[in-house]
A = this chain, B = another copy of it.
């Protein structure tokens, strides 16, 4: 539980090396590992002693971040999770340190504990990247950290996507980030949230022209047509042009009974919220509730 600095509980070390708490306690009692005790008799293991133990026996370290060991290259060597108050701050610290293994374990645990992908997207992932994004303008180092964190998140979201139940092919969707938008995380997160809701989602990635969305929606084979199109808008090359194009596209989709969902940081700036056939969402959880309604309406 990372009680205080440089002291581990038996459970902590057991998790770090992928064995059970029982075994670790037995090894300690056998004298293989020396510990101190609290006033009440609880074992406390110094990190240095833990490292000596695993090194001496050539044991694998499954969760290096628990021992404060760095796992990356570039900047920020020492990883200290002690200062982190909330879970989201812990995740942010791991991302800033480029600690892919730690970030993975953190997110996986939270997902397995019941948090949805939508919640994780709006929570740790979003707040961390906003926080890191604010470093972006300050320094070159900020860009480095931001790029590295983004790559780690891409990897993690792909992994979460694999953990959700296989989707029924009944409802299909396709989407991506519009032309000129190079942020890859939002469309990826959207596809994960959609699949989490049991709907098949094809992600076209960043920088996708409207014409491509069109051809995907209006293809000849009716069996292939999606029921939903989603678009991420995080950078706008030409506001007016984009708006017109999207409005025309939405009109065509409406006539074909295809739902259009738009999200992203700049979605509201498009100023097309008044168009009834377009759904604008501000967060992944909003997207999720929309999908719930949509499914209910279609069945």
Chain A's interface size range is 35 or more
CB <8 Å contact, A221 and B73: no
Asked if A205 contacts B150 (CB within 8 A), the reply is yes
Is A36 within 8 A of B59, CB to CB?
yes
Question: B residues within 8 A CB of A174?
Answer: 73-74
CB of A197 within 8 A of chain B? no
Residues of B within 8 A of A3 (CB): 18-20
A4 to B20, CA, bound (A): 9
Q: By the criterion CB–CB under 8 Å, are A58 and B36 in contact?
A: yes
For the complex, give the distance between the alpha carbons of A151 and B177 in Å. Answer: 12
CA A38 – CA B57 in complex, angstroms? 8
Q: Are A6 and B32 in contact (CB under 8 A)?
A: no
User: In the complex, A215 Cα to B76 Cα: how many Å?
Assistant: 12
> How many copies of this chain does one complex carry?
2
**Which residues of chain A in 11-47 are interfacial with respect to chain B, using CB atoms and an 8 Å cutoff?**
18-20, 23, 27, 30, 32, 36-40, 44, 46
Residues of B within 8 A of A36 (CB): 57-60
- Verify A202–B72 contact, CB threshold 8 A: yes
> A residues engaging B (CB < 8 A)?
3-7, 18-20, 23, 27, 30, 32, 36-40, 44, 46, 57-60, 62, 70, 72-75, 77, 98, 140-141, 143-144, 147-148, 150-151, 154-155, 158-159, 172-174, 176, 182, 184, 200, 202-209, 211-212, 214-216, 219, 221, 223-226
User: Can you name 12 extra interface pairs (CB under 8 A) apart from A23-B40, A147-B208, A151-B203?
Assistant: A3-B20, A7-B18, A23-B38, A27-B40, A72-B224, A73-B173, A74-B216, A75-B221, A140-B215, A147-B204, A148-B204, A151-B204
